[in-house]
């Protein structure tokens, strides 16, 4: 046999061995030790922090958290490619997802508030005014009691959970006119802070001194008001699994839902604990008192 | 003894074996690249065409429609997937940035090759190489913190828009166009220069009447290369253009490009849904455009070669 032949055979053998090894390790880590959670970037910090905690307490376990967006998370978990799909919206609200194939686990609540550039001179609006602004009927802040300044609308990308929630509960289902779009809340805050006349919306945890959160119909955007549904623009953070989830994935989700995480991490990271909610809302927006009916 | 000699002569020599190995390895590498390229084209095309075949969106509506709202259906019961604002945005920023970058690039290239080759090589070459190496996110970030506020204070509006996008792309494609123009100018045979100078032409006359003209095909290639890069650039443009799916009305109104809509939208859609397919159709448009850019480059090259 020629030398070249030998090299070829050697190459093939080593590729087979490497491939087989990769396949083997994939199997082992997949079934035993790793949970993969993919999806919403709004929920990512919480899952990452909780994942580190969980891995610290359960040696040999590894929680792999990736972003990618709500759509990615839901479609990947539906296909069975990942264990957990993180989402800002109900599976019912996402096109192309069959909700009956997934199991919903709510792990936190996020309040969303309109924010404006501090120099527009407006700190409260009515829902009617908000709809008028985002549908383009009002184009100057002086029309809603502010300074003479053109309104600059800033949206999140189409299909983002924050935008879906805002349009559904903040604009009562009206769609925003086509305007600037940004794909992250941090970017939105920075642009609102620096652009005169800008208005947008972010989760409560993103509000800081550089922007002004606007109260709606004289209700202030506070966690307290979210728990009673007086502040209507909020959404659950969901962790979806398949109908028959992996035991480890279920255990991890229960860990996030446990009182310990809900009282510490959830609050530190600016979410609202699921246990504080006095009402609950289903995928169609129907409100019920907690305790009277339970999921 | 005879037998042994026969064996030795009939056996493949070491050099022949090496030759075979080298040829097969390079052929394999070629195959791998070809297969990858075709796989990508087939994948993008099958995904991109499904908007028209499985979701039954009319192709004309897709190219000429002005509303981009894939999750909403319009009066005719068709989803609103008008890609015209993005296509227009991509073309406008590409052409504008090429228009702005070309004079600077050619000027720098002339300086580097004709006027002061030594100083050019010492100062300009490293600068250009540095510019090529800066990651696009850095350009985008600088655009966001410097150019956007500057446009806002100079021209009003929000500062996000075609103008800011053009500025960022100008800096990004400048090194590509410059270094390729340098190559084109260097390729002009020395006897062209000698002949022109011998006829009594000044240096500038030589540059203007002889060298630039001889190097035109090469420089056109350089410009098209720059345009291809500008057309495909995603991150830096996305950060400064505002990403509004609106037909641009002015240079300072927010607009969007094919790439910026793709990068912001892809994570929020579900594989196989219309929203996702529509984005793939945008990707297909991008791919087709880059193929066209490549064809143009080849055509220019062939034409230039013939005229020599």
Give the number of other CB atoms < 10 A from CB of residue B94.
Answer: 26
Least-confidence region, from A124-128, A278-282, B140-144, B166-170: A278-282
Q: What is the mean pLDDT of chain A?
A: 87
Give residue A197's region: left, alpha or beta (phi > 0; psi -120 to 50).
left
Report CB contact under 8 Å: A182, B256. Answer: no
Please name the residues between 186 and 205 in chain A that touch chain B, using a CB distance below 8 Å.
191, 194-196, 198
Q: Where are the domains of chain B?
A: 14-48, 84-307
Residues A85, A69: Cα–Cα separation, whole Å: 10
Asked whether A154 and A188 are in contact (CB, 8 A), the reply is yes
Taking an 8 Å Cβ-Cβ cutoff, which residues of chain B contact chain A? 12, 14, 17-18, 20-21, 67-72, 149, 152, 157-160, 238, 242-246, 254, 256, 263-276
Please state, in angstroms and as integers, the Cα–Cα distance from residue A167 to each residue in A28, A177, A201, B267, following that order.
44, 11, 10, 19
Q: Do A96 and B271 touch (CB under 8 A)?
A: yes
pLDDT of residue A32: 56
Alpha helices in chain B (DSSP H): 2-10, 14-53, 59-64, 84-110, 117-119, 125-133, 136-142, 148-155, 162-186, 190-198, 203-205, 212-214, 216-232, 235-241, 258-265, 274-307
- Does A96 contact B at CB distance below 8 Å? yes
Nearest by CB to A71, which of B157, B246, B270? B270
What does the pLDDT read at residue B146? 93
Mutating which of A117, A181, A200 best tests the B interface, going by the most B Cβ atoms within 10 A? A181
Mean pLDDT over A213-225 rounds to 92
Q: Which of A76, A93, A112, A32 is nearest to A241 (CA)?
A: A76
Longest Cα separation, chain A:
90
Query: Across the interface, which of A69, A179, A191 has its CB nearest the CB of B268?
Result: A69
CATH number of B84-307: 1.10.3720.10
What value of ipTM does the predicted structure carry? 0.72
Residue A74 with chain B: CB contacts under 8 Å: 270
Residues 117-176 of A with CB under 8 A from B: 152, 157-160, 175
Do B256 and A181 lie within an 8 Å CB cutoff? Answer: yes
Q: Is the pLDDT of residue A30 over 80?
A: no
Number of inter-chain CB pairs under 8 A, A vs B? 103
Report chain B residues whose CB lies below 8 A from the CB of A157.
Answer: 243, 264-265, 268
Best CA proximity match to B148, nearest among A184, A187, A138, A139: A187
B236 contact residues in A (CB cutoff 8 A): none
- With CA atoms as reference, the chain B residue closest to A187 would be B239
Q: Do A35 and A63 meet the contact criterion of CB atoms below 8 Å apart?
A: yes
A91 touches chain B (CB under 8 A): no
| Chain centroid to CA B18 | 39
- pLDDT of A76 reads 87
What percentage of chain A exceeds 90 in pLDDT?
35
Contact B267 A194 (CB under 8 A): no
A178/B268 Cβ within 8 A: no
A5 at B interface, C-beta within 8 A: no
Candidates B238, B243, B265; nearest CB to A159: B265
Please list the pLDDT of chain B residue by residue as tens digits (308 residues): 688 888 888 888 888 889 999 999 999 999 999 999 999 999 999 999 988 888 888 888 888 888 888 877 777 777 888 899 999 999 999 999 999 999 999 999 999 898 888 888 888 888 888 888 889 899 999 999 999 999 988 987 788 899 999 999 999 999 999 999 999 999 999 999 999 999 999 999 999 999 999 999 899 999 999 999 999 988 899 889 988 888 888 888 889 999 998 988 887 787 778 888 899 999 999 999 989 998 988 888 777 654 54
Nearest-CA distance B148 → chain A (Å):
10
Burial (CB count within 10 angstroms: exposed 0-12, middle 13-18, buried 19+), residue B110: buried
Q: What is the pLDDT of residues B161-198, one digit of tens each?
A: 999 999 999 999 999 999 999 999 999 999 999 999 99
Mean per-residue pLDDT, A193-201: 91
Please tell me the distance from the alpha carbon of residue B206 to that of residue B7, in angstroms, as a whole number: 67
A-chain CB neighbours of B158 within 8 Å are 152, 180, 191, 195, 198
How close does chain B come to A284, measured CA to CA in Å?
18
Distances (CA, A) of B77 to A81, A152, B50, B57, B80: 33, 31, 18, 10, 9
CB contact at 8 A, A233 and A227: no
pLDDT over 70 at A27, yes or no: no
Beta strands in chain A (DSSP E): 34-39, 62-68, 84-87, 102-103, 106-116, 124-125, 152-156, 180-182, 198-203, 212-213, 215-216, 234-242, 279-281, 287-289
Percentage above 70 pLDDT, chain A:
95
Token digits of residue B196? 């022109």
The CA distance from A164 to the nearest CA of chain B, in Å, is 11
The answer to whether residues A53 and A261 touch, using CB atoms and an 8 Å cutoff, is yes
Q: Which residues of B touch A79 (CB under 8 A)?
A: 271
Chain B residues with CB inside 8 Å of A4's CB? 17-18, 20-21
CA distance A276 to chain B (A): 29
Identify the H or E element spanning A256.
Answer: helix A247-257
Question: Would the pLDDT of A253 be above 60?
Answer: yes
**Nearest residue of B to residue A39 by CA position?**
B267
Residue B108 tokens read as: 């720098």
Q: Which chain B residues are closer than 8 Å to A198 by Cβ? A: 158
Mean pLDDT over A250-266 rounds to 89
Residue of A nearest to B146 (CA): A194
Write down the pLDDT at residue A186. 84
For chain A, positions 223-252, list CB contacts with chain B under 8 A: none
Give B207 to chain A, closest Cα distance, Å.
46
CA distances from A41 to A68, A165, A238, A284 (A): 7, 15, 12, 23
| pLDDT given for residue A1 in this prediction | 60
Question: What count of residues does chain B have?
Answer: 308
Closest approach of chain B CAs to the CA of A30, in angstroms?
23
Q: Which residue from A67, A178, A195 is facing B244, i.e. has the nearest CB?
A: A178
Outline where DSSP puts E strands in A189-267: 198-203, 212-213, 215-216, 234-242
Cα–Cα dist A150/A131, whole Å: 16
Hey, are the CB atoms on B149 and A69 less than 8 Å from each other?
A: no
Interchain proximity A183–B264, CB inside 8 Å: yes
Partner residue facing B268 (CB), from A157, A178, A196: A157
Contact A95 B271 (CB under 8 A): no
């Amino acid at each position: 046999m020629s030398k070249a032949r030998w090299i070829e055979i050697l190459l093939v053998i080593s590729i087979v061995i490497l491939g087989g090894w990769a396949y083997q390790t994939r199997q082992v880590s997949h079934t035993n030790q790793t949970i993969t959670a993919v999806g919403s970037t709004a929920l990512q910090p919480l899952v990452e922090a909780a994942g580190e905690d969980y891995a610290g307490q359960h040696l040999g376990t590894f929680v792999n958290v990736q972003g990618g967006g709500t759509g990615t998370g839901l479609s990947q978990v539906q296909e069975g490619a990942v264990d957990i799909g993180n989402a800002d919206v109900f599976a019912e609200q996402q096109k192309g997802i069959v909700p009956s194939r997934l199991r919903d686990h709510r792990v936190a609540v996020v309040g969303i508030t309109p924010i404006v550039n501090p120099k527009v001179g407006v700190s409260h609006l009515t829902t009617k005014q908000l709809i008028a602004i985002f549908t383009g009927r009002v184009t100057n802040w002086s029309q809603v009691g502010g300074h003479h300044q053109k309104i600059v609308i800033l949206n999140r990308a189409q299909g983002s959970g924050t935008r879906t929630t805002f349009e559904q509960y903040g604009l009562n289902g009206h769609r925003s006119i086509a305007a600037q779009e940004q794909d992250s809340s941090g970017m939105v805050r920075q642009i609102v802070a620096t652009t005169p006349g800008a208005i947008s919306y972010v989760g409560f945890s993103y509000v800081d001194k550089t922007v002004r959160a606007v109260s709606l119909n004289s209700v202030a955007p506070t966690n307290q008001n979210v728990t009673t549904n007086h502040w209507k623009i909020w959404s659950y953070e969901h962790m979806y699994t398949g109908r028959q989830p992996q035991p480890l994935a279920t255990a991890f989700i229960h860990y996030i839902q446990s009182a310990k995480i809900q009282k510490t991490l959830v609050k530190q990271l600016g979410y609202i604990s699921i246990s504080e909610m006095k009402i609950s809302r289903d995928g169609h927006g129907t409100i019920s008192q907690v305790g009277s009916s339970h999921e | 003894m005879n037998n042994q000699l026969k064996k030795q002569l009939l056996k493949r020599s070491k050099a022949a074996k090496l030759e075979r190995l080298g040829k097969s390895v390079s052929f394999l590498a070629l195959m791998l690249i070809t297969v990858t390229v075709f796989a990508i084209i087939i994948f993008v095309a099958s995904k991109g065409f499904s908007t028209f075949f499985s979701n039954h969106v009319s192709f004309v509506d897709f190219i000429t429609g002005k509303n981009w709202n894939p999750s909403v259906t319009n009066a005719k019961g068709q989803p609103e997937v008008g890609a015209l604002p993005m296509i227009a945005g991509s073309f406008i920023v590409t052409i504008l940035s090429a228009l702005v970058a070309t004079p600077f690039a050619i000027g720098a290239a002339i300086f580097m090759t004709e006027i002061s080759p030594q100083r050019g090589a010492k100062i300009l070459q490293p600068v250009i190489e540095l510019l090529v190496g800066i990651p696009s996110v850095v350009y985008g970030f600088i655009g966001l913190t410097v150019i956007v506020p500057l446009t806002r204070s100079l021209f009003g509006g929000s500062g996000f828009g075609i103008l800011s996008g053009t500025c960022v792309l100008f800096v990004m494609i400048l090194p590509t166009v410059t270094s390729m123009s340098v190559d084109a100018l260097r390729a002009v045979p020395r006897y062209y220069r000698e002949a022109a100078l011998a006829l009594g032409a000044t240096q500038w006359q030589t540059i203007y009447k002889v060298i630039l003209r001889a190097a035109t095909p090469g420089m056109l290639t350089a410009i098209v290369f720059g345009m291809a890069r500008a057309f495909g650039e995603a991150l830096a443009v996305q950060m400064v253009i505002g990403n509004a799916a609106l037909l641009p009305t002015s240079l300072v109104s927010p607009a969007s490009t094919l790439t910026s809509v793709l990068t912001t939208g892809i994570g929020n859609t579900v594989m196989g849904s219309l929203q996702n397919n529509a984005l793939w159709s945008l990707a297909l448009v991008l791919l087709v455009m880059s193929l066209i850019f490549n064809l143009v480059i080849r055509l220019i090259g062939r034409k230039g070669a013939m005229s020599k």
